[in-house]
Copies of this chain bind each other. A is one copy, B any other.
């Protein structure tokens, strides 16, 4: 597999884990009211990363398009999570989202 695609997959794998962990922790937050959008985006982002993991490496017709959508949702989820400065799971999630978005952007623009 080419290096850029493997980078997309590895960051998507890390991002999916971070999003699922964040989803889980958000549901336990005392202040769940302020992480509603986070919960929604964590799920959407995790599902998209999972889709990319499943498609990448199959030489599929949609690979390029899906990685482009993955960049979009990782950016959105990262932006949302980054706002919650006092929640460690959100900060970690934002970091993983931005790393995946970067890898997707590099792949798509190559």
- Partner among B21, B59, B60, B61 whose Cβ is within 8 Å of the Cβ of A57: B21
Count class of interface residues, chain A: 35 or more
In contact, B47 and A17 (Cβ under 8 angstroms): no
- Residues of B contacting A8 with CB < 8 Å? none
Q: How many copies does the complex hold?
A: 4
- Residues of B contacting A72 with CB < 8 Å? 61-62, 65
In contact, A24 and B57 (Cβ under 8 angstroms): yes
Chain A residues near B (Cβ < 8 Å): 1, 9, 13, 16-17, 20-21, 23-24, 27-28, 32-33, 36, 39-41, 43-44, 46-48, 50-51, 53-55, 57-62, 65-66, 69, 72-73, 76
